[in-house]
Structure formats: structure tokens, C-alpha cells
Amino acid sequence: MNPLDFAREEVIRTVSDAGEQLHCLLSPDPDSFRFRCDGKGGEWATPYPLIVRVEPQRLADACTLSPYLEQAAPSGGWLAVSLSEPWRDLVRSYAPTVAPADCSVPLIPDFPARILPEAWRFQALLPHPQAALAARLDGENPYVKLLRAQQLAACSNHSESSRLLINECALLFRLLDLGTDPQAVARQALHLAELFLANPCEAPTVSNILNLTRIFLGI
């Protein structure tokens, strides 16, 4: 199981157990749990306290946290649960087997400048593909940006911890695990590459997942 789905199950189980302890009549709806990549106030949040009319702090106090959960606390009437460093280590060590996606893209359009097939394929999986953008050799080309991030991560010593980057990697791992939405994978990979280039932390994990992304997307 990918780390994000594992964390979701841990959080749902923890909140469900807390609800039972407080004799709540309803169990939390699994679809009510929302993942927040920025991690501010906790990665997972649910409106469960509002639904069962229990004070969020009382529900938080009733939560028995596993080693993968760091804290349960109120968040604007909701209950938020923060993930711990042991969970982030799960993301860092995750090594799934990825097969190329079965998806086609439009043929490379006629254009005065050369367009690499890989650059066009990646561009075509993103919103509003443009031949002029795919032909560029600088960082304005999303494919070039992806390559730069992967190359920097592969040869970088920047292994400093970043909660945001690990959360973004976990989201991308889940999309790769589902394997059903190449467009979503391309968007998330580009977003991750931009974040890494702006703040090069967690290099080994970023290098690993961008390599897996390129295998999946066939670029």
C-alpha cells in the first residue's frame, strides 16, 4: 500500500476509535477526510466533530496515536491530524514497481523549431499544450524543468527534511500507484519539480519519484 493510503487508514481508524470511546452515534465517513499537502495544522482534516456535535478538542484528546501520527488537534471546528517523521520515512523508502502508462497523445505538430518527442509527450499531457513551449530549450519548457529537477536531485546532497516536499511526493506516489490518470501524474510531477527547484530538499526521494514518473509517462 502506498504511504498516503496507509496514512489515511491510520487516521480514519484513530478517529473512529475516538468516536466510539465518546459514544458517538455515527462513525466518520471515510470520504470526509481531506489531505492537505502544506501540512499546516495537520495533513489530514475531517469535519467529523461538527457532524457528531462533539468539541474538536474533546475528540482530539480521545485519539490514541500510532507511531505514524504526531498530533490530533482542533482546526476551525474540524479535527486535524498531523503525520509523524516515521511516516515520512515510509515515503522516503517507498519503491513501487511502475509500468508505462497505456495512453496516447496527439502527433507532434508542425513547427519551425525541433520538438523532442519526450518534450511534446509531456507537454501534451499538461493543460493547454503549446508547440512553441515544447520547442523551447530553457526552463520555460515543462519537460526541461522536469529534467533539471531530476538531474539536480540525482547529484545533490540536499537531503534536508521538508514536510511539504514529502507530502507532495506521497501524493505523486499515490497517483502512480493508481496508474489510471497520466494527466494528473504529469501535473503533479511538474508541480513537484517546481517546488524542488525552488527549495532543493529531500533530494533522494525526489530523484526516485521523478525517475518513476518518467517511466510511467514514457518520457
On the question of pLDDT at 105 being above 90, the answer is yes
* Mean pLDDT for all residues in the chain: 95
Q: What is the mean pLDDT of residues 116-129?
A: 96
Q: What is the pTM of this model?
A: 0.94
Distances (CA, A) of 157 to 115, 116, 204: 32, 30, 8
What pLDDT does 156 receive?
83
What pLDDT does 157 receive?
77
**CA dihedral for 146, 171, 163, 50, sign (positive or negative):** positive
> Tens digit of pLDDT for each residue in 166-204?
999 999 999 999 999 999 999 999 999 999 999 999 999
Whether 137 and 156 have beta carbons less than 8 Å apart is answered as no
> Using CA atoms, how far apart are residues 140 and 32, in angstroms rounded to an integer?
38
* Structural domain spans, the chain: 3-84, 94-217
Q: Among 87, 68, 88, 94, which residue's Cα sits nearest to residue 166?
A: 88
What pLDDT does 97 receive?
92
CATH number for the domain whose boundaries are 3-84? 3.30.1360.70
> Tens digit of pLDDT for each residue in 11-70?
999 999 999 999 998 999 999 999 999 988 899 999 999 999 999 999 999 999 999 999
